[in-house]
């Protein structure tokens, strides 16, 4: 079991944002987390990624307790994430963005003399990752000048650059048109085999095409977990999404 989340809880005052959540993700598995707005997905991601401290519960990654580990340490242990609102390094080119992710993963950043962006140990893999996500033609464009869809592709490239064992994708489809969505789904499908993924998404098309298992989050609680078929036919889930008379 790659990731084990047990009884994770977090409250903001009287609001139970995360309520005794249990999750499991196996190596190579894609788990999708879905739920109506306000379900607490952002808070859950924050705790998984290391930006928020849970009030209670535990997170184990590859057998190690990472509950209190800060975000950069989790990243270095093989836990990569992309952001819901695009977050890249705008003043750097796409190639440099990926190179930075590779550099962070390689860990040897206390080098003061040789120019980093001419180092083949960074540049070659960076080009490779850009090629994998389909951005090689935009390698030298500044990240600030990329289109929205290209930003998302860049984020995936940066996440992959860390050679993660687990990829946490926060609404990768957000803001994408139909063509871009299809391309992203294709990209994610090719990535599925290589590492485990947690996909937090609203786009049901993507979810049902990519997920091996789905967990449904409502008001901070996981009300159902199962295969896509099981979730599709689950009465509780229908009620949560569509109201009482579904």
Rule CB under 8 A: choose which of 1, 38, 65, 72 binds other proteins: 72
Measured between alpha carbons, how far is 207 from 111 in angstroms, rounded to an integer?
42
Name the strands in the sheet holding 221-226, side by side, starting at the edge strand that comes first in the sequence: 79-82, 166-170, 196-200, 30-34, 213-218, 221-226
Contacts with other proteins by CB under 8 A: the residue count is: 40
Measured between alpha carbons, how far is 62 from 181 in angstroms, rounded to an integer?
31
83 binds other proteins (CB under 8 A): yes
Nearer to other proteins, 128 or 212 (CB): 128
Q: How crowded is residue 28: how many other Cβ atoms within 10 Å of its Cβ? A: 14
- Please report, for residues 36, 122, 197, 208, the alpha-carbon distance to residue 48 in angstroms, rounded to integers and kept in the order given: 19, 28, 13, 23
CB 100 within 8 A of CB 92: yes
Which residue, among 226, 245, 201, has the nearest Cα to 35 in the 3D structure? 201
User: Interacting stretch for other proteins, rule CB under 8 A, among 23-31, 60-68, 74-82, 200-208?
Assistant: 74-82
Backbone φ, ψ for residue 159 (5° rounding): -65, -40
119 binds other proteins (CB under 8 A): yes
Which residue, among 219, 149, 221, has the nearest Cα to 185 in the 3D structure? 149
223 binds other proteins (CB under 8 A): no
108 binds other proteins (CB under 8 A): yes
Interacting positions 122-151 with other proteins (CB under 8 A): 142
User: Interacting stretch for other proteins, rule CB under 8 A, among 3-11, 16-24, 32-40, 95-103?
Assistant: 95-103
x-marked contacts with other proteins along 22-61 as a string, rule CB under 8 A = ---------------------------x-x----------
SS (H, E, C) 14-30: CEEEEEEEEEEECCCCE
Q: How far is the CB of 80 from other proteins (least distance, A)?
A: 8
Measured between alpha carbons, how far is 170 from 33 in angstroms, rounded to an integer?
10
Residue 245 DSSP class: T
Gyration radius from the chain CA atoms = 18
Q: How far is the CB of 122 from other proteins (least distance, A)?
A: 8
User: Interacting stretch for other proteins, rule CB under 8 A, among 34-42, 61-69, 157-165, 213-221?
Assistant: 157-165
Rule CB under 8 A: choose which of 76, 189, 194, 232 binds other proteins: 76
80 binds other proteins (CB under 8 A): yes
89 binds other proteins (CB under 8 A): yes
Q: How far is the CB of 60 from other proteins (least distance, A)?
A: 20
244 binds other proteins (CB under 8 A): no
Q: Which spans of this chain sit near other proteins (rule: CB under 8 A)?
A: 49, 51, 70-73, 75-76, 80-81, 83, 87-92, 96, 99-101, 103-105, 107-117, 119, 142, 158, 161-162
């Amino acid at each position: 079991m790659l990731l084990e989340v047990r009884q994770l809880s977090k409250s903001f005052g009287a609001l139970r944002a995360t309520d005794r959540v249990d999750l499991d993700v196996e190596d190579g598995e894609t788990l999708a987390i879905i739920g109506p707005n306000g379900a607490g997905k952002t808070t859950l991601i924050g705790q998984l990624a290391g930006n928020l401290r849970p009030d209670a519960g535990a997170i184990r990654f590859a057998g190690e307790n990472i509950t209190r580990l800060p975000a950069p340490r989790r990243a270095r242990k093989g836990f990569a994430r992309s952001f819901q609102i695009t977050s890249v390094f705008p003043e750097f080119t796409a190639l440099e963005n990926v190179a930075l992710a590779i550099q962070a993963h390689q860990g040897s950043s206390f080098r003061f003399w040789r120019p980093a962006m001419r180092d083949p140990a960074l540049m070659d893999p960076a080009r490779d990752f850009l090629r994998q996500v389909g951005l090689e033609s935009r390698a030298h464009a500044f990240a600030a000048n990329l289109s929205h869809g290209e930003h998302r592709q860049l984020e995936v490239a940066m996440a992959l650059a860390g050679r993660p064992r687990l990829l946490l994708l926060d609404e990768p489809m957000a803001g994408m048109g139909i063509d871009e969505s299809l391309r992203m789904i294709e990209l994610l499908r090719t990535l599925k085999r290589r590492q485990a993924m947690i996909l937090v998404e609203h786009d049901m098309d993507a979810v049902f095409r990519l997920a091996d298992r789905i967990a449904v989050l409502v008001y901070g609680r996981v009300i159902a977990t199962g295969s896509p078929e099981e979730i599709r036919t689950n009465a509780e889930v229908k009620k949560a999404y569509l109201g009482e008379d579904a």
